[in-house]
Amino acid sequence: MSATVAPPSLLAGRYQLERILGSGGMGVVYRARDLLHEQFGEPCSSVALKVLGETFAECPDAHVLLYSEFALARGLRHERVVRMYGFDVDINRHIAFFTMELMHGMTLDRLLLEYPGGMPWRELQPMAVQLLDAVAYTHRLGVLHGDLKPGNVMVSEEGLRLFDFGLGQSLLTTGLPGLSRGHIGAWTPAYAAPELLAGDALSMAADLYGVACVLYEMAQGRRPGERSSAESLPRPRQWPRHYWPALRTALALDPERRTISVAELREMMGCPWRRWFV
């Protein structure tokens, strides 16, 4: 099954595509109207609909990759994680797609453009806790995100939402076809743990590194960048000194030295000050 960059305006006789919301990774996301729900008087029928992008549409197992993403995230029920709706195929056009809740606001990478020197702690701290809440929740369910970066975080008046599990994996046996994302070469270098770029498997430690890079950028206004060790990184001016050892540990280049979990980092940031020993 395959999809084109510009699929027909109506898919499966039900979903009316309106406009592109974003593209990247392996897919394109559209805003769409669910005409079936409209027919039954549903007042809010808009959804987000994802199809494969041009690069992956011609891959023999592309539809399996798309379904794998849907299946990985469909069991997630958390206010800080995008909600999946359903997987479908337009039989006549051989286009696979899935629908999910339509999120409002802007992505975190766009918001950060307004803070070139880093976000003030009073704004950063609650947002960081929400993001860590989302990742800690997925880890508890054995789900790895795999592509934690500002572009995969939506910001609105209701808070942060994590989305796009296209490079994610499950630590549990799901019965789904085993797909290796390594050949995709889609890791985002600025946020990918060094071991991922070296060809190692995705892990909780790699997710920890990715979310720590996001937090660092929120506080510093720029990414960690090239360095010989986490110890060589300067503490962001907007990041309190007593919280710095924990974030620095999460940014360790060696996964064996990331002796803190996402849940522990979240607990530390959500509590009043206490010393963090590393």
Residues identified as active-site = 147
Apex 25 CA angle, 113 and 59, nearest 5: 165
Asked if residues 182 and 248 have their Cβ atoms less than 8 Å apart, the reply is no
Main-chain phi, psi angles of 102, to 5 degrees: -85, 115
Asked if residues 232 and 252 have their Cβ atoms less than 8 Å apart, the reply is no
Asked if residues 130 and 218 have their Cβ atoms less than 8 Å apart, the reply is no
71: left (phi over 0), alpha (psi -120 to 50) or beta: alpha
Q: Could you give the CA distance from residue 211 to residue 132 in angstroms, rounded to a whole number?
A: 8
Asked whether the CA dihedral 276, 251, 111, 155 is positive or negative, the reply is negative
Among residues 22, 35, 220, the alpha carbon closest in space to that of 233 is found at 220
Asked if residues 102 and 31 have their Cβ atoms less than 8 Å apart, the reply is yes
Asked if residues 185 and 56 have their Cβ atoms less than 8 Å apart, the reply is no
- Residues listed for the chain: 278
Q: Could you give the CA distance from residue 163 to residue 148 in angstroms, rounded to a whole number?
A: 9
Asked if residues 85 and 164 have their Cβ atoms less than 8 Å apart, the reply is no
